[in-house]
Amino acid sequence: MTTLAHRAGMLETENAFTVLQRAAELTASGRDVINLGIGQPDFPTPDHIVEAGIKALRDGHHGYTPSGGIAPLKDAVAADIDRRYGFDINPGNVQILPGGKLVIFFAAMLTGEEGGEILFPDPGFPIYRSAIRFSGATPAPYPLSEENGFAFSAEDVLSRITPRTRLLILNSPANPTGGVTPRNEIEALVKGLEDHPHVMVMSDEIYDQLIFDGNAMTSLLEFPSLRDRLIVLNGWSKTYAMTGWRLGYAIWPDMMLDAADKLAVNIHSCVNASAQFAALAALTGPQDCIAQMKAAFQHRAGLITDGLNALPGFSCGRPGGAFYAFPNITGTGMKSAELQASILEDTGVAIIGGTSFGEEGEGYLRFSCANSDDAITEALGRIRNWLEQR
Ligand code: PLP
């Protein structure tokens, strides 16, 4: 009898894709579905970026590129970090990958193994836990709480570090909560990490430009004491509405560069050449598209939050960034998964149950702001009618 490797059973999935599939089935059967499930901007990729991708194909960029990405793109990533944060990055430490997601997988595979532990946020992006399990390491979740605005607490995270901790995963602004961890907490964490030099850090900064008024981004790149053990994840998916282009990047510490490059050569060889030229146009072209999308997300986050707070049994704090609202639904008396399924089947509104993001997500739902004002208003109206009729 044929058998799969033990590690195949370790992989988990991203429920957002399962909900997307079910929403597509319902749409195909004639239902009018409003999708507030998937985390991708509903805006098109800006024209100048699309044109750069097309031009690259017409110019004959059909072949493999260097596995870590074309040199001008790595330079542009370093220049972009310098422009936005004023930090000096060596382009040689940048690796272009087919999605930010790959950075998570690479980081877990290169640091995790049996006997090791990897700390990650709960609720958090589900791929963290899946990649950790696949690496053989033990997933060590640290809870994020609503009372703390879903920011992480330096004291709590530091208290969970053991001699077996290999990697600490951080994410601010966060998926699924929209939580933004304040600078003082990050500073305290970095200070505390000086006592744990064996711990690598992966900062998932994919939402760093989607941060709402009154909140500020603190990049982990800012702290020289971490530079030799810091991995940064970022990319184009959320910032430039480029989810389907499959583009992302890692900034690796020197000690991981060679292994990360070998992993890329073994797995995907390189990122689609024309997509890399589009990514270059995104970083070097006009940046006003980011401000426009951010303004729309901020407005919708307010619309969704106000609407959710008016629903019986729901309460919701205002997200500090990203494009999600994460209401507390314990007042409905229903479990997250049950509410997710019933709302989709009965009202045609696709949302994600909080437990898709970890055990601490019980009692919450994730609403994505990536839909129009009208669609959001209509979705909230349907849910209200449904709740009132129950
Ligand atoms: N990190 C977080 C927190 C995310 O929410 C996502 C996408 O949803 C990613 C990483 C990966 O993004 P991509 O692979 O599309 O660049």
pLDDT tens profile 224-274: 999 999 999 999 999 999 999 999 999 999 999 999 999 999 999 999 999
For residue 196, give the nearest of 232, 171, 168 by alpha carbon: 168
Sorting pLDDT into bands at 50, 70 and 90, what band is 51?
very high
Question: Residue 321: how many CB atoms within 10 A of its CB?
Answer: 25
For residue 384, how far is its CA from the centre of ligand 1 (angstroms)? 30
Count of CA atoms in the C-beta half-sphere (13 A) of 77: 30
Give the pLDDT of residue 319: 96
CA distances 56 to 60, 63, 276, 348, Å, are 6, 11, 9, 40
pLDDT tens string 155-208: 999 999 999 999 999 999 999 999 999 999 999 999 999 999 999 999 999 999
14 lines ligand 1 (CB under 6 A): no
If one residue of 120, 122, 125 were mutated to test the ligand 1 pocket, choosing by the most ligand atoms within 8 A of its CB, it would be 125
Q: What is the pLDDT of residue 128?
A: 98
Looking at the chain, the whole-number percentage of residues with pLDDT higher than 70 is 100
Centre of ligand 1 to C-alpha 316, Å, is 23
Q: What is the mean pLDDT of residues 88-102?
A: 97
pLDDT at 330 over 90: yes
Q: Is the minimum distance from the CB of 248 to ligand 1 under 6 angstroms? A: yes
Which residue pairs, CB below 8 angstroms and at least 24 apart, start in 307-316? Answer: 307/376, 307/377, 307/380, 308/367, 308/380, 310/380, 310/384, 311/380, 311/383, 311/384, 311/387, 312/384, 312/387, 312/388, 313/387
Nearest ligand 1 atom to alpha carbon 247: 16
Q: How far apart are CA 215 and CA 126, in angstroms?
A: 25
Name the nearest CA neighbour of 283 among 234, 319, 320.
234
Please state the pTM of the whole predicted model. Answer: 0.96
**What percent of the chain clears pLDDT 90, i.e. is strictly above it?**
93
Q: Which residue is closest in CA terms to ligand 1's atom 5?
A: 175
Which ligand 1 atom lies nearest to the CA of residue 174?
A: 3
> What does each C-alpha distance from 321 to 9, 267, 273, 383 come to in angstroms?
34, 33, 31, 24
- Quick: pLDDT tens for 106-140: 999 999 999 999 999 999 999 999 999 999 999 99
pLDDT digits (tens, 9 = 90+) for 342-387: 999 999 999 999 999 999 999 999 999 999 999 999 999 999 999 9
- Ligand 1 neighbourhood includes 177 CB (under 6 angstroms): no
pLDDT of residue 15: 81
Q: Which atom of ligand 1 is nearest to the CA of 100?
A: 16
Q: One-letter amino acid identity for 109? A: M
| pLDDT for residue 16 is more than 90 | no
Is the distance from the beta carbon of residue 246 to the nearest atom of ligand 1 less than 6 Å? no
20 band by pLDDT with thresholds 50, 70 and 90:
confident
Q: Which residue among 101, 128, 276 is best mutated to probe the pocket of ligand 1, counting the most ligand atoms within 8 A of its Cβ?
A: 101
Query: Does 176 sit behind a cis peptide bond, omega within 30 degrees of 0 on the bond before it?
Result: yes
Domains and CATH numbers, the chain: 6-45+288-389 (3.90.1150.10), 47-284 (3.40.640.10)
> Beta 352-353 vs 365-368: how paired, if at all?
antiparallel
243 lines ligand 1 (CB under 6 A): yes
Cβ–ligand 1 contact at 152 (below 6 Å):
no
Tokens representing 252 are 């690796």
80 C-alpha to ligand 1 centroid (Å): 19
Ligand 1 site, residue 206, Cβ cutoff 6 A: yes
Residue 89 has pLDDT above 90, yes or no: yes
Cβ(204) – ligand 1 distance below 6 Å: yes
Give the pLDDT of residue 384: 96
**Position 38 pLDDT exceeds 90:** no
User: What is the reported pLDDT for 39?
Assistant: 81
pLDDT score of 40 more than 90: no
Query: Which of 97, 238, 368 is the pocket-test mutation for ligand 1 (most atoms within 8 Å of CB)?
Result: 238
Decide: 126 in ligand 1 pocket, CB within 6 A: no
DSSP 38: S
Q: How confident is the model at residue 19 (pLDDT cuts 50, 70, 90)?
A: confident
| Phi-psi label, residue 377: left if phi above 0, alpha if psi -120 to 50, beta otherwise | alpha
Collapsing DSSP to helix, strand or coil, 70 comes out as coil
Distance from C-alpha of 19 to C-alpha of 151, rounded to nearest angstrom: 27
Residues in the chain: 390
* Averaged confidence pLDDT in the chain: 96
Identity at 298, one-letter amino acid code: Q
| Ligand 1 touching residue 127 (CB < 6 A) | no
pLDDT, position 17: 81
